[in-house]
């Protein structure tokens, strides 16, 4: 199954429905969303992407780099559980970590600031609440 990332095949609102003039191209393809889950150890996948570059995708993650903004210190700590996910409430139940997810760590409650499915690492900032 292919994932088309372009919007060129959609008809704009109004007007006559005409046959589209553009065909899908290989370089416009995407990949499925990487569901980074909470686990006991870290597992990553390295993918070759457009231009010959590589992208590290975090599949299962156990640790996060948590920054304390008041002290200006960053530490690698274990993620205990997923507390809240505003992107999708079902992600909280399935322990899926994306940017903006509120996680509980050994240092306290933190908000994820990185994109684990794109960066391969979880960076978070402690919250005081």
Give me the pLDDT at residue 29, please. 79
Q: Which residues contact 13 (CB under 8 A, 6 or more apart)?
A: none
Q: In whole angstroms, give the CA distance from residue 100 to residue 114.
A: 8
Q: pTM here?
A: 0.81
| Tens-binned pLDDT, residue by residue, of the chain (129 aa) | 567 776 666 666 666 666 666 777 887 778 888 999 999 999 999 988 888 999 999 999 999 999 999 999 999 999 999 999 999 999 999 999 999 999 999 999 999 999 999 999 999 999 986
Q: Which residue has the tokens 């899908």?
A: 24
Given CA atoms 72, 77, 83, 87 in this order, what sign does their dihedral have?
positive
- DSSP class of 84: E
Task: Check residue 16 and give its pLDDT.
Answer: 67
d(CA 53, CA 66): 28
Alpha carbon separation from 7 to 1, 58, 68, 73, 107 (Å, rounded): 18, 28, 41, 43, 43
């Amino acid at each position: 199954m292919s994932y088309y990332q372009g919007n060129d095949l959609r008809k704009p609102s109004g007007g006559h429905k005409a046959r589209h003039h553009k065909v899908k191209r290989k370089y416009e393809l995407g990949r499925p969303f990487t569901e980074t889950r909470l686990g006991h150890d870290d597992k990553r996948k390295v993918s070759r992407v457009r231009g010959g570059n590589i992208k590290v995708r975090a599949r299962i993650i156990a640790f996060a780099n948590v920054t304390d903004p008041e002290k200006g210190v960053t530490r690698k700590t274990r993620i205990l559980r997923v507390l809240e996910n505003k992107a999708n409430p079902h992600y909280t139940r399935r322990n899926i970590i994306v940017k903006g997810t509120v996680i509980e760590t050994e240092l306290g409650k933190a908000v994820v600031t990185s994109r684990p499915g794109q960066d391969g690492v979880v960076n978070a900032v402690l919250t005081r609440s």
